[in-house]
C-alpha cells in the first residue's frame, strides 16, 4: 500500500562497498576518523560540509549548555526505566529522549521557528521591532505561548543565555536571530503585561541560526546533547542505583482521591 | 511501594541554584561552555574528569566511526516513524535508538564485557592466549556468539577497525584490550572452525577500554554516535521524504502465506 | 525546580495495601478479575465506570478494526527493532507504537477533535451542515488537512467504516458524531474540489464519541489495538524472522545520490 | 547489506485488497468486527485460531490482573513524558512500556521460560519436585534470581495469584505449569534459605501456559495490559496533571554529593 508522497527514492548521506564507507562523499576511515571531532562530524552529517571553526565552537557551546541539568524529568524517566529493565540501556535512553518535547527540553525547535518567522517578515522590509511585534501578537491571537522565554528556576536571567551570546560574539557569530531574540525580550513586558526572560532554549536557536545551522535540525541539538547526559546518569544508575528511590518518593508525594470501600486503608 | 535496593539517595553529576549550574563540580557557564568541546563534555559527564588529549581523540574517532552507515535498520525505523508521526522528532530518534541492540549496533557493550573478562583472567597470571582461549571456549559452551567479530558487508576486514587501531597508536593508546582483541581474531579459526574478522563493534571497546573509558558506559558510544546520524537522516526525511517508500518496498519483498478464502486476491 | 502548574497532587485510578488492590474503587481480585473482560476493564480504567453492553461492543469493534493491517510502517519498525535487539521485546513494541502518529494510525485523535469542534458549533444552534461547512473551511484556511478522510489503499470506501456504523446501529449507538462524519463526507467534494471517503480513523472517533468514550483518550484506541497486532508480529518474528529481509529490501529500493569520489562503486 | 538469516520472506498474519482485509484468513469486517471481542482478537492474532471460552477467560483475567497498580515507575515515566511532550501521546505510552523490563512488570516472560524449562525436564521422566529442584539449583549456580517469586508490597501473599488460580480452576485450566509454580514455592525456603511467595508475574505464565498461550508471547501480556493502564493515566494527566509534581518530589528526595566550589549553595 502506497502511503504519502513517494517522489523521492534516494539519500545523500552515506553509501559503502566492501572496503570503503563514504559519508557525505568523504572516505570515513581516510578522511574523517582521527581527523575531525564528533561535533564536526555531526555538522558534516547534517549539512554535507565541514563547519568553520566559529560554527564548530558555537555548536559545541550549545551542546555543552543543554546536555545536563540534574535530575530533570527526562533523566528520571531514563533512570526508572533502567532500574526496571536493565537488559536494555537503549530503552532507558529512548525513554529519556521521549521527554525532549515541546514543553521541556525540546522547545529550541519551536523557538527557532518563531525567530525564523520574524526574520522572514523582516525580509519584506519592515524593522526588527515591527516584525517581532507582529509575530508575537499573532502567536497570542492563536493562544500559543512564546517559545524560548521564561524558566522555572532561572527566572531573572538564565546564565547560559549570556554565555552563549558571548561565545557567539567571540566567534563573529552574532547576527539577525540574536538581535531578534533580544528585541522580543524587550517587547514582551508591554505585549504580555509581564516580563519573561530569554531562556537557553531561545538562545540556542538564535546563535545556531546565525551560524548557519539548519532550522529543521534544531531539535537535534537538545536531543543529541541530552543523550550524553542520559548516558552519564545511566552509568551512575548502574553503580549507585536511585531509580526506585525516585519513583518511591514521587508516589509518596501524591494521594489517591478516587473511590474507596468503607474502612479501606492504603499502604504508604 | 519500595522496589529494589534503596541504599543510595544521591547523584554526583549536576546541581544548580538560580545563578549557577554545576556539572561535575565545575561552573557550566564559566568553566565549560565555550572552553571545552562536546566530546570532552561527554567524558567529563561520565567520569567526573576532563579527558587527556589522547583520550579525547580516541573517543572522537570511535564516535565518528559508528555514527553513520547508510540506510541500516535503525535509520529506516526512524525515518518511517517520522513519516507517520512528524509532530515528534524525538519519537523518531527514540525508535532508531531502540535498534541499538545486542545483535546490531549495540554489540560494543557485549564485546567490552568479553574483552574485559579475558583481561581479568590475565590478571590471575596466565598468558593473553591462554586467557582468550579459555573465555572463548566458555562462551561456546554456553552457546553464546563471540561479540565483536564478523560483519555482513565487511567480511574480510572492516576498514574502521584498522583506522581505530592507528588512531589509538598515534595517541599512545594501544594496550592490553587491543592486544586481546587481536589475539582472539588469531584464535578463532581454530576454535570455531572458521575465521571471523574483528569488526568495528569489537575494536571500539578495545581502544576505549585501553584509554580508560568506563566499561558500563560502552553502549553509550554507539547510542550517542548514532543519534547524530539519525538526526541527519531525519533532517533529510523532512526535505526529501522516503519513509513510506522504504516501507512500501519492504512490504513488497514479502508474501502473505497465511490462510485465505478461495479466490481471494491480495493487492500488491 | 518546579516546572509547570502544580495544582494537582492526586490520582483517582488505583491504590493498594498489602492485601487489596483497588482499581477505580473496586477490589481487583474480588470484583474484577474473572468477572469482567479486558475491554470492560479498559473502559473502567478510563472512566471510573463499567461500560454498558453497547459501549463495550462498540469499543471492541473499534479495537478489532484497527489492531492489524499487515506489514505497515509501525510493524516493520517493530520487527526490525526486535531483529537488532532481541533482548528487549518492550523496545520493539515501543518502536512500533511511536509510529502511531498524526499521519498514520493515530489520526483518530485529530479526527475526534475535528468532529467534536463541529458538534460544539451545532450546540450554538446552527445545522449540522452549516457547522460542518464552517469548520472544514477553517481547517482549509489554516492549511490543515481534514483528519479521518482518504486512504491510500481503500480509496472508494473503507470496508471497516460501514461495519463500524452497523455495529453502532445494532447497539443503538449512532448519534450526532456519526451524522457529522457522514455530512462532512458529502460536503467534501464541493469544499475541496475532490471526493475523499471517510476512513477507519474517522469512523472510530465518530462511533466512540457517540458511545460516550472520552475525547482525550481517543488516541489510546489505535495505540492499544496496534499493541496487540505488534505482539503477534513480534511472536512471528521470533519464529520466522524477516526483520532484516525488510530492511534489506527497503535499502535496495533507494539510491545514494550524494557526492562520490571518481570511480567509487557501491555494493548493492 | 544483508544482516542475519534471511531464510523467511513471508508473514501469515494479515493481507488485504481494496475491499477486504484478511486477518489470519478471516474477513475482518464480515467475520470479526462486531462478532468477537478484543481479547479473542488478540488470541487469534497470536495463534491463528479463536480461543475457547476458558482460554479467553483465563487470558482476560491475566490482562485485568496486571493492567494497573497505581503510580509505579512505568506510569510515572509516562506521565512525566506527557507533561514534557504533550504533542505525542504515543511517546508517553512508549516511555511507559519501555519500563516493562526483566526486573519490574516484564518478568512474566522470564518466569514462563523458567516454568517451561522445568516442564521440559519432567518430560524426561522425573518428578515435578525433582525437575523443579534441578532447575532452581541451576539458576542459583548461574547466580540468576528465580523469576516470578517475591514482591516488595505483597510479601506474604499476592492476592492476584490465588484469584488467577481460581479463575483457571473454574475454567478447567489448571495443569502442569500451575503445579510446577506451586511446587517451586514449597521448595524455595529449603533451596534459598528463605521463603519467597509466588507473585503475579509467576502466576500469569503458569495459567497461560496451561491454557495453551504461546511461550514467546508471554511478555505481550503485561505490555498489552499495562498499555491500557498507561492510557488511563495519560487521560488523567491531561485533565489533572501531576507529571511535574512527581518529578519535583523525586528530585527533592535525593541529594547532590559531587564536587562543589567552596560556598556553593544549591536551590532546593
Which ipTM did the prediction report?
Answer: 0.96
Distance, C-alpha B162 to centroid of its chain: 17
The answer on pLDDT for B156 being more than 90 is: no
Higher-pLDDT residue of B7 and C177 is C177
Task: Say which residues have a Cβ less than 8 Å from residue C139's Cβ, sequence separation at least 6.
Answer: C114, C145, C146
| Residue D268 CB neighbour total at 10 angstroms | 7
Selected for mutation to probe chain C from A1, A24, A28, A94 (highest C CB count within 10 Å) is A1
Low-confidence winner among A37-41, A62-66, A73-77, B189-193 (lowest mean pLDDT): B189-193
| Residue D239 CB neighbour total at 10 angstroms | 10
H or E element in which residue C22 lies: strand C21-23
Calculate mean pLDDT across residues B21-48: 98
Q: Does the beta-carbon distance from A84 to D103 stay under 8 Å? A: yes
Task: Tell me which residue in C76, C83, C245 faces B247 most closely, judged by beta carbons.
Answer: C76
pLDDT score, position A167? 97
| Side-chain half-sphere exposure of B71, counting CA atoms within 13 A | 31
Tens of pLDDT, residue by residue over A92-115, are: 999 999 999 998 888 999 999 999
Provide the 3-class DSSP secondary structure of residue B55: helix
pLDDT score, position C151? 75
The answer on pLDDT for B78 being more than 70 is: yes
> For chain A, what is the largest distance between any 2 Cα atoms, rounded to a whole number of angstroms?
75
Selected for mutation to probe chain A from B6, B11, B256 (highest A CB count within 10 Å) is B11
Does B176 reach chain A within 8 Å, measured CB to CB?
no
Q: Does the beta-carbon distance from D232 to C217 stay under 8 Å? A: yes
For residue D134, give the C-alpha cell: 534441578
Q: Does the beta-carbon distance from D45 to C229 stay under 8 Å? A: yes
Calculate mean pLDDT across residues D40-66: 98
Q: Give the distance from residue D131's alpha carbon to the nearest chain C alpha carbon, in angstroms.
A: 27
Three-class secondary structure assignment of chain A = CCCCCCCCCEECCEEECCCCEEECCEEHHHHHCCCCCHHHHHHHHHHCCCCCHHHHHHHHHHHHHHCCCCCCHHHHHHHHHHHHCCCCHHHHHHHHHCCCECCCECHHHHHHHHHHHHHHHHCCCCCHHHHHHHHHHHHHHCCCCCCCECCCCCCCCCHHHHHHHHHHHHCCCCCHHHHHHHHHHHHHHHHHCCCCCECHHHHHHHHHHHCCCCHHHCCHHHHHHHHHHHHHHHHHHHHCCCHHHHHHHHHHCCEECCCCCCCCCCCC
- The chain A residue lying nearest B15, using CA atoms, is A70
Q: Give the distance from residue A80's alpha carbon to the nearest chain B alpha carbon, in angstroms.
A: 11
- Give residue C106's pLDDT band: very low, low, confident or very high (50, 70, 90): confident
Size (chain B), residues: 268
The answer on pLDDT for A135 being more than 80 is: yes
- Are D168 and D207 in contact, with CB atoms under 8 Å apart? yes
The answer on pLDDT for B4 being more than 90 is: no
Low-confidence winner among B86-90, C261-265, D34-38, D151-155 (lowest mean pLDDT): D151-155
- Give residue D37's pLDDT band: very low, low, confident or very high (50, 70, 90): very high
Q: Can you tell me the distance from the alpha carbon of C68 to that of D23, in angstroms, rounded to the nearest whole number?
A: 7
A residues 197..216 contacting B (CB < 8 A): 214, 216
H or E element in which residue C15 lies: strand C14-16
Tens of pLDDT, residue by residue over C71-99, are: 999 999 999 999 999 999 999 999 999 99
Low-confidence winner among A62-66, A226-230, B29-33, D189-193 (lowest mean pLDDT): D189-193
Low-confidence winner among A146-155, D16-25, D203-212 (lowest mean pLDDT): A146-155
The answer on pLDDT for B170 being more than 60 is: yes
Q: Does the beta-carbon distance from C109 to D88 stay under 8 Å? A: no
Residue with cell 478471516: D26
The answer on pLDDT for D157 being more than 80 is: no
Q: Can you tell me the distance from the alpha carbon of C134 to that of C123, in angstroms, rounded to the nearest whole number?
A: 14
Low-confidence winner among B5-19, B48-62, C115-129 (lowest mean pLDDT): B5-19
Q: Can you tell me the distance from the alpha carbon of B214 to that of B81, in angstroms, rounded to the nearest whole number?
A: 32
Task: Tell me which residue in C77, C153, C250 faces B267 most closely, judged by beta carbons.
Answer: C153
Q: Which residues of C touch B247 (CB under 8 A)?
A: 71-73, 76, 250
The answer on pLDDT for A267 being more than 70 is: no
pLDDT score, position B200? 95
Calculate mean pLDDT across residues B116-142: 95
Does A262 reach chain C within 8 Å, measured CB to CB?
no
**Measuring CA to CA, which residue among D205, D230, D206, D235 is closest to residue D100?**
D230
- Are D147 and D129 in contact, with CB atoms under 8 Å apart? no
Q: Give the distance from residue B123's alpha carbon to the nearest chain A alpha carbon, in angstroms.
A: 23
Task: Say which residues have a Cβ less than 8 Å from residue B70's Cβ, sequence separation at least 6.
Answer: A11, A13, A14, A15, A16, C251, C256, D1
Give first-to-last CA distance, chain B, whole Å. Answer: 53
pLDDT score, position B1? 54
Provide the 3-class DSSP secondary structure of residue B111: helix
pLDDT score, position A83? 97
- Give residue C23's pLDDT band: very low, low, confident or very high (50, 70, 90): very high
H or E element in which residue C21 lies: strand C21-23
Task: Tell me which residue in A15, A91, A267 faces C17 most closely, judged by beta carbons.
Answer: A267
**Measuring CA to CA, which residue among D107, C260, B1 is closest to residue A27?**
C260
Percent of chain D with pLDDT over 90: 83
> Chains touching chain B at 3 or more Cβ pairs under 8 angstroms?
A, C, D
The answer on pLDDT for C4 being more than 80 is: no
The answer on pLDDT for A1 being more than 70 is: no
Q: Can you tell me the distance from the alpha carbon of C123 to that of C132, in angstroms, rounded to the nearest whole number?
A: 12
- Give residue A2's pLDDT band: very low, low, confident or very high (50, 70, 90): low
| Residue C142 CB neighbour total at 10 angstroms | 8
Does B51 reach chain A within 8 Å, measured CB to CB?
no
Q: Which residues of B touch C76 (CB under 8 A)?
A: 76-77, 80, 247, 250-251
- Give residue C1's pLDDT band: very low, low, confident or very high (50, 70, 90): low
pLDDT score, position D194? 87
Task: Say which residues have a Cβ less than 8 Å from residue C144's Cβ, sequence separation at least 6.
Answer: none
Q: Can you tell me the distance from the alpha carbon of C79 to that of C244, in angstroms, rounded to the nearest whole number?
A: 8
Provide the 3-class DSSP secondary structure of residue D57: helix
pLDDT score, position A154? 67
Q: Does the beta-carbon distance from A18 to B267 stay under 8 Å? A: no
pLDDT score, position D18? 85
Selected for mutation to probe chain B from D91, D98, D138, D158 (highest B CB count within 10 Å) is D91
Calculate mean pLDDT across residues D36-45: 98
Amino acid at each position: 500500500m502506497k502511503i504519502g508522497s513517494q517522489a523521492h527514492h534516494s539519500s545523500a548521506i552515506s553509501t559503502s562497498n566492501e572496503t570503503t564507507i563514504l559519508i557525505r562523499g568523504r572516505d570515513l576511515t581516510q578522511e574523517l576518523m582521527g581527523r575531525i571531532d564528533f561535533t564536526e562530524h555531526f555538522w558534516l552529517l547534517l549539512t554535507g560540509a565541514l563547519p568553520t571553526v566559529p560554527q564548530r565552537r558555537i555548536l559545541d557551546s550549545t551542546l555543552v549548555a543543554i546536555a545536563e541539568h540534574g535530575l530533570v524529568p527526562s533523566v528520571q524517566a531514563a533512570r526508572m526505566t533502567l532500574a526496571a529493565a536493565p537488559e536494555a540501556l537503549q530503552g532507558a535512553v529512548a525513554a529519556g529522549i521521549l521527554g525532549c518535547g515541546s514543553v521541556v527540553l525540546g522547545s529550541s525547535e519551536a523557538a527557532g521557528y518563531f525567530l525564523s518567522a520574524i526574520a522572514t517578515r523582516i525580509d519584506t522590509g519592515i524593522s526588527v521591532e515591527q516584525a517581532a511585534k507582529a509575530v508575537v501578537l499573532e502567536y497570542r491571537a492563536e493562544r500559543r505561548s512564546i517559545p524560548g522565554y521564561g524558566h522555572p528556576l532561572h527566572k531573572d536571567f538564565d546564565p547560559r543565555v549570556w554565555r552563549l551570546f558571548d561565545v557567539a560574539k567571540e566567534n563573529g557569530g552574532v547576527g539577525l536571530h540574536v538581535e531578534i531574540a533580544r528585541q522580543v525580550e524587550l517587547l514582551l513586558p508591554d505585549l504580555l503585561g509581564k516580563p519573561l526572560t530569554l531562556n537557553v532554549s531561545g538562545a540556542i536557536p538564535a546563535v545556531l541560526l546565525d551560524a548557519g545551522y539548519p532550522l529543521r535540525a534544531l531539535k537535534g541539538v537538545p536531543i543529541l546533547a541530552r543523550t550524553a547526559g542520559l548516558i552519564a546518569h545511566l552509568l551512575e544508575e548502574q553503580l549507585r542505583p536511585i531509580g526506585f528511590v525516585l519513583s518511591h518518593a514521587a508516589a509518596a508525594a501524591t494521594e489517591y482521591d478516587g473511590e474507596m470501600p468503607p474502612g479501606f486503608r492504603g499502604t504508604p
